[in-house]
Structure 1
Amino acid sequence: MKGILYTGGELTDLVSFAQLPTYLQAFLREQNGVVAYFGGLHVRGCVVAPAWHTLAEAWQGENAFWRTYDTVMETDVPFAQDCVGNQFLLRGDAVLFLDTETGELADLEVDFKHFLFGAEKFPLEALGLEPLRDFQRAGGVLAPGQLLSVSPPVCIRTATEKTQLMARPAAERLAWLTAFYRQIKDLPDGQQIRFRPTE
């Protein structure tokens, strides 16, 4: 992986580690999670702290993704996220992509090994790095523990509004996405809404 900003250090959450598939255990033994591609990919680790890097929190914590998103199962492992907070989940051996604005779930039709291979070979496409590139071109830097806030949200089509990108603490960004999803999840496609940025 390129552009590594953070690695997770020692395995301190052995309970979560024991529940993971062997291939993910092997990866985490080498590096206990990582923030790579200058913030474009965050693979969570089996650690007690920091909270933003903790796999257990995203998987079984109070704000676990299966508790909010109708498409996510409790057994899905939210092993990674992209720069804006979309999630990569393991369901069996398949890697799934969760759009955290809309709750839509897509099967990427790759296993963990090929997901990492695709990210290494084609990071811009595989990880959706366009917002991060735009943010960097404007002089922004995404630090470990931060995600990009995108305003207006990607799923909202606007006629004139320019996209604003800001670095936010990961927990704050994910909480905002959860609240946004809950507000729009039952709206029909094409529904007009008035969007007031709060991030």
Structure 2
Amino acid sequence: MTSLDTLLSNASSSLSEHEPERLGLSHGLLDTLADQLFGMLRRRNGFYAFECALHVFPTHSSQQEIGIYDWNANALWRSVYKDMADGCFFFAEDVFGGQFCFKDGKVYIFDPETGSLEYLADDIESWAKSILVDFDVLTGHPLAHQWQKQNGQLPAGKRLLPKVPFVLGGEFVLDNLYLADAVEGMKLRADIASQIRDLPDGAQIKFNVES
């Protein structure tokens, strides 16, 4: 059994009833990664795992879910990051809205608070293996579990955002988290990332704290 087999065996059912469309997945991706992503989505067209901490986007949007093509649309949120998101194809996210993406033929973690990329894996199978080995850190599962124990299941289209951004010293604790719309959360952190990028070390930035 491969790591992807194991991940899918512990994941939710498909988030879309549509058959994945191979043509759309070729846009901006190397053929090998497009093939691998298409293969995964043919088996499970979008899914949640680790108590909703990991969210893999389906190909098609619905009333509940944003599809992978719409999620990658420049006008939705990524344009706010300016060139920081250039060349990235986003396919999954952790409970805090941290993105998993393809760029230059590899899999990276995109930090929404800084716009920085961290190499994670060479392909989908290696990505799945990394997730299984270190899902507490890579998906935020412990806090997702604690939050849902108190508040119920995370709704579709929502993620847990820090009231005080992690990059500014916010703690990974329940008291520092609030439920937020995933798209609005990306836009909010894009503003923070832009300010951090343009300001010298030690400078102050401005952001709105949700209650």
| Aligned-partner Cα distance in 2 for 1:81–1:152 | 20
Q: Distance in 2 between matches of 1:5 and 1:59?
A: 23
* Equivalent pair of 1:5/1:144 in contact (CA under 8 Å): no
| Structure 1 range deviating more: 30-39 or 77-86 | 30-39
Deviations 1:74-94 (A, max 9, x none): 3x2101111111111112431
Relative to the length of structure 1, the TM-score reads: 0.81
Aligned length: 197
Aligned partner of 1:4 among 5, 9, 12:
12
**Which residue matches 1:33?**
46
Following the alignment from structure 1 to structure 2, what is the Cα–Cα distance between the partners of residues 69 and 79?
19
Deviations 1:115-173 (A, max 9, x none): 112223431123233432442354453122211121111111269x9842122222222
Partner amino acid for 1:16?
G
Tell me, which stretches of 5 or more residues in structure 2 are unaligned? 1-6
- Residue 53 of structure 1 pairs with residue 66 of structure 2: yes
8 Å contact 1:9–1:31 — kept in the other structure? no
Q: How has the CA–CA distance of structure 1 residues 121 and 158 changed in structure 2, closer, same or farther, with 3 Å as cutoff?
A: closer
Q: What's the Cα RMSD here? A: 2.9
Task: Return the alpha-carbon distance in structure 2 between the equivalents of residues 51 and 64 of structure 1.
Answer: 18
What amino acid maps onto 2:57 in structure 1? R
Shift of 1:42: 1.1
Amino acid at match of 1:93: G
Choose between structure 1 and 2: higher helix proportion.
2
Taking the aligned partners of 2:12 and 2:197, their CA distance within structure 1 comes to 35
Matches within 5 A, 1:173-184: 173-184=185-196
Check 1:28–1:12 CA distance in 2 against 1; reply closer, same or farther (3 A cut). closer
The one-letter code of the counterpart of 1:27 is M
Aligned equivalents of 1:140, 1:48: Cα separation in 2 = 24
Tell me: higher relative CO, structure 1 or 2? Use CA pairs within 8 A at least 6 residues apart.
2
**Judging changes above 3 Å, is the alpha-carbon distance between structure 1 residues 110 and 61 closer, same or farther for their aligned structure 2 residues?**
same
Q: Given the two structures, how large is their TM-score scaled by the length of structure 2? A: 0.77
Cα–Cα, structure 1 residues 6 and 175, in superposed 2: closer, same or farther, change >3 Å? farther
Q: Which runs of 5+ in 1 are unaligned?
A: none
Secondary structure, counterpart of 2:72 in structure 1:
helix
Determine if contact 1:47/1:53 at 8 Å carries over to the other structure: yes
